[in-house]
């Protein structure tokens, strides 16, 4: 019984190692990239298009719309980062229906990595939007007194992001594993279905929170018409 796929190690050479997290991440990446390649290879620009293209278009435009609803002005600038966050987390949860699969998001290392990416992306987009001075000034709003609290909030919310996703995904697989030993047949299926749902919700929450943080960094003085998750 292991808590994280990090513990399943296929190959190790000192500090370098190839564990289940990295392998399943690569597999997911391969599926996502090859899938998009196959569909986008023969894109139709006419009114009639294939159903796969339709699916991807709905997905992409849906993400774009969500980002815009959060309050980011130029949604396409953030689409690459936020969209990939959502797609990766969602795909990781969706793949749990495959037997023997361990979601990479069930590893605290992966969620930490994603949270660290968000932690870096927020000041990156903030500085790109309002300049270095403008961005740093936002830490001293409304007064200089708030500076340490702002920094703490920045760090703590990153931690919260990482732990929230990890907890949810890990618990899901854990519950299934435990239930399988107790009540083998019907109940684990229900729990898998529930896990799919929570996985989708987590993917949504993760990317929306990242969008909200970026929006807060880029548009501090502007009113946000966004809906909080």
Partner 1 sequence: MLIDWFTVGAQVINFLVLVWLLKRFLYRPILDAIDAREQRIAAELADADAKRAEAKQERETFQHKNQEFDQQRAALFTHAMDEAKAERRRLLDEARQTADALRDKRQEALRQEADQLNQALMHRTEQEVFAIARKTLTDLAGASLEERLVDVFIERLGAMDSEAHTLFAEALKATSEPVRVRSAFELPPAQRELIQAALNSRFETEVPVQFEAGPDLVGGIELTANGQQVGWSIADHLRSLEQGVRELLKAKDQSDVVPKPAQPAPDATHS
In angstroms, what is the minimal distance from the CB of 183 to partner 1? 28
Beta bridge partners of 17: 12
Is residue 155 within 8 Å of 167, Cβ to Cβ?
no
In angstroms, what is the minimal distance from the CB of 54 to partner 1? 11
Residue 119 C-beta-side C-alpha neighbours within 13 Å: 18
Q: Which two tokens stand for residue 152?
A: 């703490």
Residue 61 touching partner 1 (CB under 8 A): yes
List the one residue from 67, 72, 92, 114 that touches partner 1 (CB under 8 A). 114
Nearest to 122 by CA among 20, 7, 212: 212
Among positions 168-227, residues that touch partner 1 (CB under 8 A) are none
Residue 80 touching partner 1 (CB under 8 A): yes
Residue with Cβ nearer partner 1 (88 or 135): 88
Q: Which two tokens stand for residue 228?
A: 């909080």
Site string for partner 1, 14-53 (x = CB under 8 A): -xxx-x-xx--xx--x--xx--xx--x--xxxxx-x---x
Concatenated DSSP letters of 22-66: HHHHHHHHHHHHHHHHHHHHT---SS---HHHHHHHHHHHHHHHH
Name the residues that contact partner 1, by CB under 8 A: 3-4, 6, 15-17, 19, 21-22, 25-26, 29, 32-33, 36-37, 40, 43-47, 49, 53, 56-57, 60-61, 76, 79-81, 83-84, 87-88, 104, 107-110, 112-114, 116-117, 166
């Amino acid at each position: 019984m292991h808590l994280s796929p990090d513990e399943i190690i296929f190959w190790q050479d000192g500090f370098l190692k190839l564990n289940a997290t990295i392998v399943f991440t690569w597999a997911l990446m391969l599926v996502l990239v090859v899938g998009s390649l196959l569909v986008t290879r023969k894109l139709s620009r006419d009114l009639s298009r294939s159903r796969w293209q339709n699916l991807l278009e709905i997905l992409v435009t849906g993400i774009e719309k969500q980002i815009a609803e959060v309050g980011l002005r130029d949604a396409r600038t953030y689409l690459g980062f936020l969209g990939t966050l959502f797609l990766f987390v969602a795909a990781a949860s969706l793949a749990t229906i495959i037997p023997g699969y361990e979601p990479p998001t069930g590893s605290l290392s992966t969620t930490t990595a994603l949270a660290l990416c968000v932690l870096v992306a927020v000041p990156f987009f903030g500085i790109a939007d309002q300049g270095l001075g403008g961005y740093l000034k936002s830490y001293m709003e409304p007064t200089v007194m708030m500076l340490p609290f702002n920094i703490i909030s920045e760090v703590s919310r990153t931690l919260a992001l990482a732990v929230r996703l990890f907890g949810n995904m890990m618990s899901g697989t854990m519950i299934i594993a435990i239930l399988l030993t107790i009540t083998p047949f019907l109940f684990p299926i229900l729990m898998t279905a529930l896990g799919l749902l929570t996985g989708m919700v987590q993917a949504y929450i993760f990317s929306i929170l990242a969008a909200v943080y970026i929006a807060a960094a880029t548009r501090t003085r502007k009113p946000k018409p966004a809906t909080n998750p």
